[in-house]
């Protein structure tokens, strides 16, 4: 397929999505929250995990992707950044606008960066940056992509925290109920066409788990202390894998480096990740 360079700068929205505490509790459950995490789960006004900021972006982001001319079956998530300006209330009306910032030419495919802004009840609440790769769509003569996040994980000392998070065989089927219904995470035939033995876990599920663990370890489970989370995805996770989330507090106050390793294989699922918070 041919990449449409005229899609650069194209916007979609605002797309409205109403939500209640049941939606935010479902999100927490889909990130393996359990009996020790009731503050995110119980009505009538549970706290909302900050990475919920990705949820209202699904619809406008994927509608925009359809206009780029690429084959979405080849889609991989390269990196994600979420910045939360004020905590999400436990319910409200979200309005999200998405814009294609750039379409870049890589040898292995087309790199597409999409920015979103979400308002909740009229208040600017979250901004995200999606970096997506359409494999096999490179060579169209576009610019090279901008530099990605570079972060040195301290190798001279152990992690400040290590937390194992088991995922379940049905983890992707649960996470997709948040609205991310890309069939590569649910339909075996689509996963096979993309080169996988079976449906893979959403990268944003792994991302959300990393954010949830870091918030508890470093910011007292307080969503008001969350600033941003930016992660580079390295390898896919399979539902049922156990995730080892490790974090190192950096010299600059309010910043920590994270990694996520698949315990069964030792492979990094998230190789580079910056968690920003109020110390």
**170 contacts 239 by C-beta, under 8 angstroms:** yes
Whether 197 is catalytic = no
185 annotated active-site: yes
Contact 173, 186 (CB under 8 A): yes
Within its chain, how far is the Cα of 22 from the centroid? 20
Cβ neighbours for 211, distance < 8 A, ≥ 6 positions apart: 49, 50, 51, 82, 226, 229, 275
- In the β-sheet with 226-233, what is the strand arrangement from edge to edge? 11-19, 92-106, 109-120, 123-135, 75-84, 226-233, 267-277, 255-262, 242-249, 161-166
Catalytic residue among 115, 180, 202, 241: 180
What is the 8-class DSSP label of residue 203?
Answer: H
Residue among 203, 266, 186, 212 at smallest CA distance from 237: 203
Q: What count of other Cβ atoms lies within 10 Å of the Cβ of residue 49?
A: 26
Which of 23, 105, 115, 185 is the catalytic position?
A: 185
- Helix (H/G/I), strand (E/B), else coil: 233: strand
Q: Please list the active-site residues.
A: 180, 185
């Amino acid at each position: 397929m041919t990449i449409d360079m005229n899609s650069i700068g194209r916007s979609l929205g605002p797309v409205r999505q109403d939500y209640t505490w049941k939606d935010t509790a479902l999100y927490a459950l889909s990130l393996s929250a359990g009996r020790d995490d009731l503050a995110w789960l119980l009505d009538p006004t549970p706290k909302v995990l900050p990475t919920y900021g990705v949820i209202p972006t699904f619809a406008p982001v994927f509608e925009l992707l359809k206009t780029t001319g690429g084959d979405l079956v080849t889609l991989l998530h390269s990196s994600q950044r979420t910045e939360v300006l004020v905590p999400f209330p436990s319910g409200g009306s979200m309005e999200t606008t998405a814009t294609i910032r750039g379409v870049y030419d890589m040898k292995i495919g087309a790199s597409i960066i999409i920015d979103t802004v979400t308002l909740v009840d009229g208040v600017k609440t979250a901004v995200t940056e999606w970096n997506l790769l359409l494999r096999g769509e490179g060579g169209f003569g576009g610019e090279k992509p901008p530099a990605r996040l570079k972060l040195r994980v301290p190798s001279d000392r152990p992690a400040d925290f290590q937390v194992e998070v088991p995922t379940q065989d049905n983890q992707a089927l649960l996470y997709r109920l948040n609205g991310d219904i890309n069939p590569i995470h649910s339909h075996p035939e689509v996963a096979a066409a993309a080169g996988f033995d079976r449906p893979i876990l959403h990268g944003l599920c792994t991302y959300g788990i990393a954010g949830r663990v870091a918030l508890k370890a470093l910011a007292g489970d307080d969503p008001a202390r969350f600033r941003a989370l930016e992660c580079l995805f390295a390898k896919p996770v399979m539902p049922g894998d156990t995730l080892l989330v490790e974090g190192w507090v950096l010299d600059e106050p309010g910043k920590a480096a994270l990694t996520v390793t698949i315990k069964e294989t030792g492979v990094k699922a998230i190789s580079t990740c910056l968690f920003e918070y109020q110390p």
